Amino acid sequence: MLVASGTFGFGEEYAELVDISRLGGICTKAVTLAPRAGNPQPRIWETPAGMLNAIGWQNPGLEVFLEEKLPTLRQYEVPIIVNVAGETRAEYVELAARLDNVAAISALELNISCPNVEHGGLQFGVAPDLTEDLVGAVRQVTDHVLITKLSPNVTDVSAIAQAAVAGGSDALSLINTLVGMAIDVEGRRPALANITGGLSGPAIRPVAVRMTWQVAEAVDVPIIGMGGITTAEDALQFIMAGASAVAVGTANFVEPTAALSVIDGLIEYCRHHNVARITDLTGAAHSGRQ
């Protein structure tokens, strides 16, 4: 059970409210080489059972991450997955290279799916050849476990998944947000300054479950499923669709202890159904389909 990138900051924001040590890991807010100010306001807009966001990778940059954020994160004694993001191929590679000898990190999550930046991010996640090239380049400079975070804003998610695996990705996480938009009808303008934003929350869950299912049929690497998980039942849908792990995202904003409640619910489900390990259920729906 992880918490998804961008929804749990660098851990410290939730430390006084959540027993972080119960989590299976933290995916950090996107880290870029240089500090980024992020997008202008408005950055968020509530939608039915969801929200749009266009934060724009606001983060203090790699150096501050290593000097200030990482030491704090380590105190929680949970695996740390650093979400790395760049505008160019060279930035991803340099980030990965500079994080390679950082032993406190358990894995890198390659962000090729953020829809809210002008350059980089999603650009690398919509074409299989670009995905494979970028993952391959990062693979060459790091021995860390490499997770590629996939976008739902593609024609064929299986092709991107296969490209990431071909490039050397050890695992895949999906889905990032769906590109969406809202209009502020009083102002007669886009609700977000960025015009479009990423849709997250329970509203996107069926899309995310479907993509988890498709990717599970296309590749053999572990999948971290996410997209609108708020309850144990939601998490079980992803697991049975083929996920080996799951992440809670937007629900953290609504209820800081959401991920812990999901853990409790999964334990309860396993007890009730005599399941020895939760991963015994991974992909269960594939064999059970009619």
Partner 1 sequence: MLTTQAELTRREQVAPEHYLLTFVCPPIAEQAQPGQFVHLRVTKGLEPLLRRPFSVMNVNLSQGSFQLLIQAVGQGTQILAQAQAGAVFDLLGPVGQPFPLPDGAEQVLLVAGGVGVAPLIFVAERLKEQPAPCYVQGLFGAQTEDYLCCWLEFSTRCDEFATATEDGSAGEKGLVTDLLDKQLDRGGVDRVYACGPVAMLAEVARQCQEQQVPCWVSVEQRMACGVGACLGCVIPTRCEGSQHYQRVCREGPVFAAAQIDWEAMSPELDRC
Q: Is 254 in the site for partner 1 (CB under 8 A)?
A: yes
Among 106, 196, 244, 257, binds partner 1 (CB under 8 A): 257
Among 2, 27, 42, 146, binds partner 1 (CB under 8 A): 42
Cα angle for residues 87, 92, 94 (degrees, 5° grid): 120
Preceding amide of 35 cis, omega within 30: no
Confirm whether 270 is a catalytic residue. no
Q: Is 138 in the site for partner 1 (CB under 8 A)?
A: no
Q: Is 37 in the site for partner 1 (CB under 8 A)?
A: yes
Q: Is 139 in the site for partner 1 (CB under 8 A)?
A: no
Q: Is 185 in the site for partner 1 (CB under 8 A)?
A: no
Nearer to partner 1, 29 or 144 (CB): 29
Q: Is 121 in the site for partner 1 (CB under 8 A)?
A: no
- Taking the complex as a whole, the smallest distance from the CB of residue 159 to partner 1 amounts, in Å, to 32
Q: Under 8 Å CB-to-CB from 181, ≥6 apart: which residues?
A: 52, 190, 191, 192, 195, 196, 197
- Taking the complex as a whole, the smallest distance from the CB of residue 259 to partner 1 amounts, in Å, to 13
Number of residues that bind partner 1 (CB under 8 A): 38
Of 24, 31, 195, give the one whose Cα is nearest residue 111.
31
From 47-55, 63-71, 72-80, 88-96, give the range in contact with partner 1 by CB under 8 A: 47-55
Nearer to partner 1, 138 or 263 (CB): 263
From 96-104, 138-146, 181-189, 282-290, give the range in contact with partner 1 by CB under 8 A: 181-189
Among 24, 136, 168, 256, binds partner 1 (CB under 8 A): 256
Q: Is 8 in the site for partner 1 (CB under 8 A)?
A: yes
Of the listed 114, 192, 199, 204, which one is catalytic? 114
Q: Is 29 in the site for partner 1 (CB under 8 A)?
A: yes
Preceding amide of 175 cis, omega within 30: yes
Q: Is 123 in the site for partner 1 (CB under 8 A)?
A: no
Q: Which residues are identified as catalytic?
A: 114
Binding site for partner 1 (CB under 8 A): 6-9, 13-14, 16-17, 29, 37-38, 40-46, 48-51, 53, 55, 58, 184, 186-187, 201-202, 230, 250, 252-257
